[in-house]
Amino acid sequence: MTRIAFVGGGNMAFALVKGLDGLRAGASFDIVVADPVPAQLARFEGAATTADNAAAAAGADAVVLAVKPQQIAGAVAATELDPGQLVISIAAGVPMHAIARWTSAGQPIVRCMPNTPALLGAGITGAVPNEHVSAPHRTLAARILSTAGEVVWFDEEASLDAVTALSGSGPAYFFYLLEAMVDAGAALGVDAETARRLAVATAVGAARMAAEGDADPATLRARVTSPGGTTERALSILASNRVDAAVRQAIEGAWRRSRELGKEFGE
């Protein structure tokens, strides 16, 4: 029986437990969630819950650290990890060398950066193992993380700063665009709810075309842009306002902030 312990009962833990719960009928594992807040634990129907980190982690094959970055040092201290347990951290910005400092020598650690669509099983997670993670550890980590969406593995921890900027923060960029589209539609006389439906359905459809087709984004854009048409006019305005450059600057800014947070939490 594979035991998975979650330290922290926030939204990402909930997404992963929900995904694992869907597999439980055909899988030989059990789940326990630790959190000091009873209201958080009440959401985890069917899983064992406790306020005691150490009790949750006792005997676990994998311990998922799903706490806020500023809470992780105290949470690890209260968890009393065994040296052979796989530690999976989804605490944003906390580098592995800091986690290793709070755990045992040789502790296998996988650091991850998921994103919020994980709540719908539609997320994507960047993951990096340390040198103590074995092939079975990696398989177990992939099994846990893939219940919330796709998993992309990296060899270098520094890559997670780019993952954070691109996909970790990325949903907010699309929400920002959706806000602007809805506001523009409303300004043109479409009622707000209908404008929202039109914008969201367009985003979902465009994402499916990008995900399921074999063309890159530039080709897809060209296919829907007729010379002298409405789309060409709109894109020319976006280009004249250098929206592409603003997007690059935004992602680079998020990348720099991720590096800053890594240094802050690493100390």
Which residue ranges form the domains of the chain, and what is each CATH number? Answer: 2-157 (3.40.50.720), 170-261 (1.10.3730.10)
Using the predicted structure, report yes or no on whether residue 27 has a pLDDT greater than 80. no
> How much is the average pLDDT of 67-89?
93
Q: What is the mean pLDDT of the chain?
A: 93
CB–CB of 124/102 below 8 Å? no
What residue spans of 6-134 are helical by DSSP H?
11-23, 38-41, 53-57, 72-79, 96-102
Q: Tell me what pLDDT residue 23 has.
A: 54
**How many other CB atoms are found less than 10 A from the CB of residue 19?**
19
Q: Is the pLDDT of residue 24 over 60?
A: no
Across the range 116-132, mean pLDDT stands at 95
Closest to 140 measured CA to CA, from 255, 46, 20, 37: 20
- Angle, nearest 10°, between helix axes 243-266 and 230-240? 50
pLDDT at 19: 83
Q: Is the pLDDT of residue 108 over 70?
A: yes
What integer is the mean pLDDT of 78-85? 93
Q: Rounded CA gap, 114 and 151, in Å?
A: 9
Query: Strand order in 149-153's β-sheet?
Result: 48-50, 29-34, 2-7, 62-65, 86-89, 109-113, 123-129, 149-153
Cβ contact 89:112 at 8 Å: yes
Q: Is the predicted pLDDT of residue 256 greater than 80, yes or no?
A: yes
Task: Write out pLDDT tens, residues 150-197.
Answer: 999 999 999 999 999 999 999 999 999 999 999 999 999 999 999 999
